[in-house]
Amino acid sequence: IAMTVAPLVQAADYLIDTEKAHAFIQFRIKHLGYSWLLGRFNDFDGSFSYDDADPAASTVEVTIRTASIDSNHAERDKHLRGKDFLDVDKFPQATFVSTGFTENDDKSAVLTGNLTLHGVTRPVTIDVKHIGHGADPWGGYRRGFEGSTSLKLADFDINFDLGPAAREVELFLSVEGIRR
């Protein structure tokens, strides 16, 4: 049986389901060290490839429209889009392209790749958990992951100073892909 099933298992390509809002890129950063500022990016897209038989061959590509930053406060969002932070007129997109994927026995994994943000490209590491996969009610097939990482703003030439507690931003990613 294993010999007949094995050839059927192969890498599958998935489109990240942003259209139906089943994917999220959220962030939090300390505000002056007294509380958390939470937000998200509302406009992004991407794809990934995952192979059950060879997870190390997995790939991910994501593009974020930086002007879509949303912290639930219009004036703050205007500031975040400006030259002090994202400078969205000059840098309208951030991109992530994976360079490696290492899966552990418990289905946790480490995703490595290059993040281009604010005109600077740097390697980043994302801790990943495989949420699940299977057929959906509409005849498709889905696979989901979540991940988290922290970025030092100065590493991406974002140097607006809100104090030492606000120099790092935490990212949380929840991704559901629809197999193509």
18-52: pLDDT as tens digits: 988 899 999 999 998 899 999 999 999 999 999 99
pLDDT given for residue 162 in this prediction: 84
Contact 170, 29 (CB under 8 A): yes
pLDDT given for residue 3 in this prediction: 44
| Whole-angstrom distance, CA of residue 25 vs CA of residue 69 | 10
| Whole-angstrom distance, CA of residue 135 vs CA of residue 169 | 35
Average pLDDT over residues 163-169: 92
DSSP state of 95: E
| Whole-angstrom distance, CA of residue 180 vs CA of residue 178 | 6
pLDDT given for residue 28 in this prediction: 98
pLDDT digits (tens, 9 = 90+) for 124-152: 999 999 999 999 999 999 999 999 999 99
pLDDT digits (tens, 9 = 90+) for 88-122: 999 999 999 999 999 998 989 999 999 999 999 99
pLDDT given for residue 9 in this prediction: 53
Length, in residues, of the chain? 180
pLDDT given for residue 32 in this prediction: 86
Provide CB contacts within 8 A for 7, sequence distance 6+.
none
Q: Which residues in the chain belong to E strands, given as ranges?
A: 12-16, 24-31, 35-41, 44-50, 59-65, 69-70, 93-103, 108-117, 120-135, 141-152, 168-179
Q: State the residue for tokens 């990934």.
A: 48
| Whole-angstrom distance, CA of residue 101 vs CA of residue 94 | 20
pLDDT given for residue 22 in this prediction: 94
pLDDT given for residue 125 in this prediction: 98
Percent of the chain whose pLDDT exceeds 70:
94
Residue 16 has pLDDT above 70, yes or no: yes
pLDDT given for residue 2 in this prediction: 45
Average pLDDT over residues 173-177: 97
